[in-house]
Structure 1
Amino acid sequence: MNLLIGYATVRGSTRDNAQHLAAGLTASGVDARARPVDEVGDAADTFEAFVLGSAIH
């Protein structure tokens, strides 16, 4: 499975969490990539699953 983790961050902690999650999933055999949501574009044809994350203030 290939998975996109899209994130939005202000101070970088959400990015760090998304990258950590992607690394853990990749170690488990999932093709996971973390990308900022403004760089995702039209990913519907490329990825089978999506996770979205953002900061909560």
Structure 2
Amino acid sequence: MALAIIFLLITLLALVAIFRELRKRNMLGFVFALLTVAVFGWFSVMTFIDVFHGGGAPAPI
């Protein structure tokens, strides 16, 4: 669960970076921030789904 929260925080910071780089008209920074949002956003959503569906580690004895 902590991994999903970390991924979500990175995604939120990258969303802020998207708007900041658009305001500065820095297209390379914008592209990297957009890719970061896409990748880490996907990882955070999939990690939340995996955690809530009980996948991953086996159940403790």
Q: Per residue, is there more helix in 1 or in 2?
A: 2
Give the shorter-chain TM-score range.
0.3 to 0.5
Please report the TM-score for the alignment, with normalisation by the length of structure 1.
0.40
Please report the TM-score for the alignment, with normalisation by the length of structure 2.
0.38
Larger RCO, structures 1/2 (Cα 8 Å, 6+ apart): 1
Structure ID, larger Rg: 2
